[in-house]
């Protein structure tokens, strides 16, 4: 049910001391379709097991000739270190087709705010390219504001290009950097972005009064550590911006989800409909739909297995599924989208459609 791809690394471009961009070219003769804000899932072999990591595109179709991902080293991280230290131009990577819902609104809005930190700039950079450089762009008159937090200028990924945009589009694009360890940098505040500061900045942007029309025509895109995104979301909700205008991309789950006790005496039947195939399999009580499929050699799509990336999303068309996020559990029925990696069948039979 998932499309495996082979990609060749054409070049590896250093961005900062611990970050590099990998320019990719399909090595399997198929085009690689993606949208700004989406990510690629890379497949790695580690001790005889397959492991997956997602990397957002830092490029934009129609602006960049080839797709690229940008990877920041995580201390002791298995595959970010492998990519940065060992993978070179000419090497092949295995992947599954691009995915992700961190997408721009379809209709033009007045203002788009982006709040990013560290490598969280990657999908945002792809959006900024689309908004500022693409001719096929529904948001030509939209004002764009970027709040971008880092340690200092040197560790700020894509700073040179963002600075060029600041100079080139003074009426349309505003950017404030937040540096925790640098003072007096241009376009920067030497402060952490906290709720008080975010509220002050937003009120100043809207000249102290946010009208209902402005609330309806402003969207927010967050990609940063969870604590910063939680703070931003709470501040935006306090200012009455609608929740459905706040989109976020989570790179790392907050905490590990607890395992459930598996009851092998109780089974559920799953009917999974893909684009070209229909598969039936069983899950035990307490086993996620995804784990049950993988245990039986059925290749359902997934990346994070933690409920943060949405690669595994399927539409429930019959039956009931319990979806267990870190902070809430939802019971979903026909018509709902469910994450199969954290989804447990509740009814005897569940029907799911993939790739909708």
Footprint on this chain of ligand FAD (rule: CB under 6 A): 39, 53-56, 70-72, 74, 76-81, 119, 122, 249, 251-252, 304, 308-309
Least Å distance, CB 239 to ligand FAD, is 27
By Cβ distance, which residue is nearest to ligand FAD? Answer: 77
Q: Which residues contact 160 (CB under 8 A, 6 or more apart)?
A: none
Side by side, the strands of the sheet bearing 39-46 are 49-56, 39-46, 92-99, 4-16, 19-26, 68-72
Least Å distance, CB 303 to ligand FES, is 5
Least Å distance, CB 52 to ligand FAD, is 8
In angstroms, the CA 141 to CA 161 distance is 21
In angstroms, the CA 42 to CA 93 distance is 7
Of residues 201 and 326, the one with the C-beta less far from ligand FES? 326
In angstroms, the CA 66 to CA 268 distance is 44
| Residue 47 contacts which entry, ligand FAD, ligand FES, none (Cβ below 5-8 A, type-dependent) | none
Of residues 36 and 343, the one with the C-beta less far from ligand FES? 343
Which residues share a beta bridge with 87? none
Of residues 150 and 340, the one with the C-beta less far from ligand FES? 340
Q: How far is CA 209 from the centre of its chain?
A: 32
Least Å distance, CB 340 to ligand FES, is 7
Of residues 117 and 132, the one with the C-beta less far from ligand FAD? 117
| Residue 146 contacts which entry, ligand FES, ligand FAD, none (Cβ below 5-8 A, type-dependent) | none
| Residue 273 contacts which entry, ligand FAD, ligand FES, none (Cβ below 5-8 A, type-dependent) | none
Of residues 119 and 235, the one with the C-beta less far from ligand FES? 119
| Residue 70 contacts which entry, ligand FAD, ligand FES, none (Cβ below 5-8 A, type-dependent) | ligand FAD
| Residue 311 contacts which entry, ligand FAD, ligand FES, none (Cβ below 5-8 A, type-dependent) | ligand FES
Tokens matching residue 316:
């429930």
Q: Which residues contact 302 (CB under 8 A, 6 or more apart)?
A: 52, 290, 294, 311, 312, 340, 341
Least Å distance, CB 179 to ligand FES, is 32
Q: Which residues bind ligand FES (CB under 6 A)?
A: 302-305, 307-312, 339, 341
| Residue 126 contacts which entry, ligand FES, ligand FAD, none (Cβ below 5-8 A, type-dependent) | none
């Amino acid at each position: 049910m998932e499309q495996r791809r082979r990609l060749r690394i054409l070049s590896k471009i250093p961005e900062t001391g611990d970050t590099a961009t990998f320019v990719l070219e399909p090595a399997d003769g198929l085009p690689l379709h993606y949208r700004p804000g989406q990510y690629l899932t890379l497949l790695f072999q580690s001790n005889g097991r397959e492991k997956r990591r997602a990397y957002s595109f830092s490029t934009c179709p129609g602006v960049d000739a080839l797709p690229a991902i940008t990877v920041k080293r995580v201390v002791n991280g298995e595959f970010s270190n492998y990519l940065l230290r060992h993978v070179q131009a000419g090497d092949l990577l295995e992947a599954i087709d691009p995915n992700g819902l961190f997408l721009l609104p379809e209709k033009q809005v007045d203002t788009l705010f982006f709040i990013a930190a560290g490598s969280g700039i990657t999908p945002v950079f792809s959006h900024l390219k689309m908004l500022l450089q693409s001719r096929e762009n529904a948001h030509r008159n939209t004002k764009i504001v970027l709040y971008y937090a880092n340690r200092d200028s040197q560790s700020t990924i894509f700073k040179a290009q963002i600075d060029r945009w600041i100079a080139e589009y003074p009426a349309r694009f505003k950017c404030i950097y937040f540096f925790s360890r640098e003072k007096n940098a241009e376009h920067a505040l030497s402060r952490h972005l906290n709720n008080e500061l975010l509220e002050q900045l937003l009120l100043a942007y809207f000249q102290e009064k946010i009208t209902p029309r402005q609330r309806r025509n402003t969207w927010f895109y967050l990609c940063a550590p969870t604590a910063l995104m939680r703070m931003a979301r709470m501040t935006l909700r306090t200012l009455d911006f609608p929740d459905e205008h706040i989109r976020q991309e989570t790179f790392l789950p907050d905490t590990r989800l607890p395992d459930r006790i598996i009851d092998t005496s109780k089974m559920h039947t799953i009917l999974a409909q893909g684009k070209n195939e229909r598969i039936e399999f069983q899950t035990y009580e307490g086993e996620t739909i995804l784990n049950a499929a993988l245990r039986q050699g059925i290749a359902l799509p997934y990346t994070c297995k933690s409920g943060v990336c949405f690669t595994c999303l399927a539409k429930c068309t019959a039956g009931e599924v319990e979806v267990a996020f870190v902070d809430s559990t939802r019971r979903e029925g026909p018509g709902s989208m469910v994450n199969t990696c954290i989804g447990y069948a509740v009814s005897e039979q569940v029907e799911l459609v993939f790739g909708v």
